[in-house]
Structure 1
Amino acid sequence: MPIERDITIGGCRLIQGDARDILPLLDLQADLCVTDPPYALSSGGSRPGALGGKFSSTVYDNSGLLMDVVGWHEIGGPIFRALKPDADCYIMSDDSNLFAAHGGFIGAGFKLHSLLVWDKIVPNRTRYYMKDSEFTLYLWKGRAFDINNGGSKRVWRGHRPADAIHNTQKPVELMQIYIENSSQLGQLALDPFMGSGTTLVAAVQAGRRAIGIEKSPKHFEAACARVLAAVDAHQLQEEQVL
């Protein structure tokens, strides 16, 4: 059964399972997509043009974990079909996957508007040039519209979350900027690779609804806890205003 768990917390729906199987079942028409696909594999398990995630298949990483290798084109189409006409889509990637991600999503029907950059300020140390940035493909489906804050810059500077519970967890503030720029209050944001739920937390704080899908039981549990805390905090804030 594709849907292993299905939980609603406030205006958020969290589904445990494989997004490739679940998205076609939902008949979604989301207002935007903001997602950080699981492209990070160890050097022993990655290959160009592939998306590394814990799905099901045939590649082992250096720790011996079974990892699936999924082409970016395999996720671009389901996401494209899950969005309303003229919806925006934000796809995060590192430098080694950027061109493959671009090809997969353009091939699915999206158009590229801009390449956005997250300057992490404190870089990851490596033997080569240090990784001080990550990238976001800002795409649209159909017609392009102005973002809500036209003063937003393509480069956003911010530290990695100090309390991260997921090894590739992104800042809530960054996700919230994307959500607020490309949707209105009460609209629906989609994250088919939810991880620990950062996009959904950002959606709650921005006054949007959200639906997230996550394969890993561990990350799904973490996302549920974070979204519940965010919903409670948002409700308390609204009560204090009243």
Structure 2
Amino acid sequence: MGGIVDHAVIGDVTLYLGDMREVLPELGRMRADCVVSDPPYPLTSGGNATEVMGGLFSQDVYDNSGDLMPSVPWHHMGGPIFRACADDADCYIMANDKNVWAAHAAFTGAGFAFHNLLVWDKIRATRNRWYMKNCEFTLYLFKGLAAPQGIADCGSKQLFTLNAARTSGHKTEKPVALMQHYIANSCPPGGLVLDPFAGSGSTLLAAAALGRRAVGIELERKWFDVACARLESALCVGAELGYGSV
């Protein structure tokens, strides 16, 4: 299969190495119950200010080109992901403030409907002269019919506050707890979670911890290997505790 460079099956999680635009069509009608993903996207480029940004955007890490990592245009994502979903499915797509509108247009244009705009308050802030940035955003979308009962925990609020340490070394690693929050609310027990931009595997770890099946796709070999190692480590810990799975 041309789009799939490599793959690994770890417990109830299958992770593919390749470009999601090529891999998803090869997987046939997957029928994912829930999509939870943090796609890579171009960042702001240009400008000549110095000593402004820190952390992920400090000058020794980010060259201000707009390309922190390989990315897929928003309008290339929505269609393949929409077709990979079950007839009725929820979809969570993360973006920053400057990309959320393009992401909304791309995914609603592909057939998804919009439920809500969710916010992750990271507590820690990236330095910025025009209000420091401490939030990321999640488009909560759906395909088909919205569940009449709503999400599993209807007391959940738009704002999710968590100061989470990065553990994998990935530049844009998302906390497993945040992904668990989305999955627990929108994917039934035993259901299938899809992450077409798996990165270091946070969504896959969250799905496995909740007893959901998962499929992930990652473009870069380095992060494919890191995600596999994290899953294998979690699986071993689960087995040692007597659960037999994560």
> Cα 1:167–1:236, aligned 2, differ >3 Å: closer, same or farther?
same
User: Which letter maps to 1:17?
Assistant: G
Deviation at 1:204, TM superposition (A): 1.0
Would you say 1:220 and 2:224 are equivalent positions? Answer: yes
**Structure 2 residue runs without a partner (length 5+):** 47-62
- List per-residue Cα deviations over 1:36-76 (Å, max 9, x = no partner): 000143615xxxxxxxxxxxxxxxx7579797664312100
Mapping of residues 62-211 of structure 1, within 5 Å: 70-145=72-147, 146-211=150-215
Q: Secondary structure at the match of 1:34?
A: strand
Q: Provide the residue aligned with 1:9 in structure 2.
A: 10
Deviation at 1:126, TM superposition (A): 2.1
Decide which structure has greater strand share: 1
Q: Secondary structure at the match of 1:96?
A: coil
Q: Secondary structure at the match of 1:163?
A: coil
- Using the TM superposition, name which of 32-41 and 113-122 deviates more: 32-41
User: Which letter maps to 1:231?
Assistant: L
Separation of aligned partners in 2, 1:78 and 1:64: 25
> Cα 1:193–1:69, aligned 2, differ >3 Å: closer, same or farther?
closer
Calculate the TM-score normalised by the size of structure 2: 0.85
Separation of aligned partners in 1, 2:213 and 2:119: 25
Deviation at 1:239, TM superposition (A): 3.8
Separation of aligned partners in 2, 1:66 and 1:201: 24
Deviation at 1:184, TM superposition (A): 1.6
Task: Note if contact 1:161-1:170 (Cα within 8 Å) is conserved in structure 2.
Answer: no
- List per-residue Cα deviations over 1:125-150 (Å, max 9, x = no partner): 12321111000000000111111111
- List per-residue Cα deviations over 1:53-101 (Å, max 9, x = no partner): xxxxxxxx75797976643121000000000011000000000001000
Would you say 1:23 and 2:24 are equivalent positions? Answer: yes
Count matched residues. 224
Calculate the TM-score normalised by the size of structure 1: 0.87
Task: Note if contact 2:168-2:200 (Cα within 8 Å) is conserved in structure 1.
Answer: no
Q: Quote the RMSD (CA, aligned, Å).
A: 2.0
Percent identity between matched residues is: 53
> Cα 1:171–1:66, aligned 2, differ >3 Å: closer, same or farther?
closer
Separation of aligned partners in 2, 1:233 and 1:88: 30
Q: Provide the residue aligned with 2:239 in structure 1.
A: 235
